[in-house]
Structure formats: C-alpha cells, structure tokens
Amino acid sequence: MLTDITLGQYFPGESPLHQMDARVKIVLLFFYIIAVFLFDNNINYALMTGFALSLIILSRLPMGMVLKSVKPLWWIILFSFLMHIFSTPGESLVKVWILDITGEGILKGFIISLRLVLLILISSLLMFTTSPLKLTDALESLMSPLKRVGFPAHELAMMMTIAMRFIPTLLEETDKIIKAQQSRGSDIGDGNFIQRTKGMLPVLVPLFISAFRRADELSIAMEARCYRGGEDRTRMKQQRVHDIDYVATGIFIGFICLLVGIQVIYT
C-alpha cells in the first residue's frame, strides 16, 4: 500500500543520537564525510568503519534496517568496484578478455566501495534519527548567515517543510484515488508502457486538481494568520545545544585527532 511509505526515513526513538541537536549532527556529519575522503590508510578505514557501526548500535535502530539503506545505491557501488578492479595498473591476477584484474585493483575497488558505504550509512543515520521538521529547522539555522547576502534561507526551509508536510497527505490522496478508480474497474499498472501511462491519467488528473486546491487553501490560511516570511518570527520549538551535544562534539574531535595522528605516523 502507498501510505505504508514512511515520511523520509525518520524512525522515532530515545537514543542519544535522537536527542542530539540536529545542527550539531549535520555539522559533525559534514566533517565525518570529509574525513572519509581525506584519510587513506588501512587502520583509519577500520577505525572509521568501527565508528559508524558503533553509532548504529548507539542509535538502537535495527541494524538490518540501517544496512538496507545502502540498497538503492548498490549498483553505483558495484559499478565503481568493477571500474577499479579492471582499470588499476599492477600485477595481473586473472585476464578476462582484454581486461586485467589486478591485486591492487581489488584492494582499491574495495576501499572505494567501503567509502561509499560509510558515506551512505552515516547520512542515513542522520535521516533515521532526525525528524524532517528538525532537519529543515536546522538547515535554516545553519544557512541563516547567508541571509545577509540575500539568500532566502527561511523561505527555502519553509518550502521544504511544506513539501515534506504534504508528502504523506498526497500519498494518502493518491492511494484513495487509485482505490476509487480501481473500484470502477480500472487496472492501474497493467499492460505495456503506453497502456500504463494512459492508466495513470485517471489518477494524475484528480491528484493535480487536489494539489492545487490544497496549495490554494494553505496560502489563504497562512495569509489569514498574517504570515509574512521569516523576519522577527519566534519559534515554538527553540533549538538548543545541550550537554549531550558538547559531549558528542568532544568525542568526535578526539576521534578526528586520533585519525590525524595515525595518518601522520604511517605516512
């Protein structure tokens, strides 16, 4: 069923990762990603993998679910792995047609794949532990220095919030319309490409009409409440940095120092 899709990937919980301030999480994620691409020594790879895994354990999310988030990008990972296997010069192990598989290639391919997997895992962890609303609030707050040069940070965040707010509504609406048309005997999703596209029309037309109607109603409702953009607006949920965020940042800085140390010693 369509409405079984969860909004974003947020998985409610009470873990330390859930409690952290979203802004802190985004900034730390940013540095972690830089670290993943900067450090290239085997001990560091092991440490970063261990760090990501312990974060997943700390988040108390089902391990399988987090690992599954790699699935959509599986082909990209496989592709880059194969590219490296075949294109890295070195001692040939096996020869396939005109391509050589080298030991160096396998190692390099493995490391690139590991980097990608870590990247996806740790970003999904942010999405899993942060509600979409907190995420947009945090983005707005992080982008707010750019307001001085005329960047519409608040408007962008508001648009994102509204868009995300309406994803479940529109999904529900789609589900309802599909069911209504199915009740009238339409076989949505059957037949060849043209038939399927045609079959979508009875769903898309009512969906667009209702989306425009909703947009119209929402804008009237916002104007009726005197909404006029971000200036001087206060928030119901203030974003605050708590002890847990300082502790997390401290641990993270320690971790980065360790990585830098190992990198310097071994190169």
Nearer CB in complex with other proteins: 63/251: 63
Which of 6, 54 has the CB closer to other proteins?
A: 6
Binders of other proteins among residues 131 to 170 (CB under 8 A) are none
For tokens 């194969």, the residue is 82
DSSP class of 9? T
DSSP per-residue letters across 31-48: HHHHHHHH---HHHHHHH
Candidates 127, 202, 211, 214: give the one binding other proteins (CB under 8 A): 202
154 or 214, CB closer to other proteins? 214
For residues 10-49, which are near other proteins according to CB under 8 A? 11-12
**Which of 56, 177, 248, 259: binder of other proteins (CB under 8 A)?**
177
204-233: which residues touch other proteins (CB under 8 A)?
Answer: 205-206, 209-210
Give the closest residue to 33 by CA, choosing from 25, 42, 41: 25
Considering the complex, state which of residue 4 and residue 91 has its C-beta at the smaller distance from other proteins.
4
3-class secondary structure, 189: coil
Instruction: Kindly indicate which of the ranges 3-11, 34-42, 73-81, 245-253 contains the residues binding other proteins, using the contact rule CB under 8 A.
Output: 3-11
For residues 258 and 110, give the distance between their C-alpha atoms in angstroms, rounded to a whole number: 23
3-state secondary structure 88-150: CCCCEEEEECCEEEEHHHHHHHHHHHHHHHHHHHHHHHHHHHCCHHHHHHHHHHHHHHHHHHC
| Residues that bind other proteins in the complex, under the rule CB under 8 A | 1, 3-4, 6, 11-12, 173, 176-177, 179-187, 201-202, 205-206, 209-210
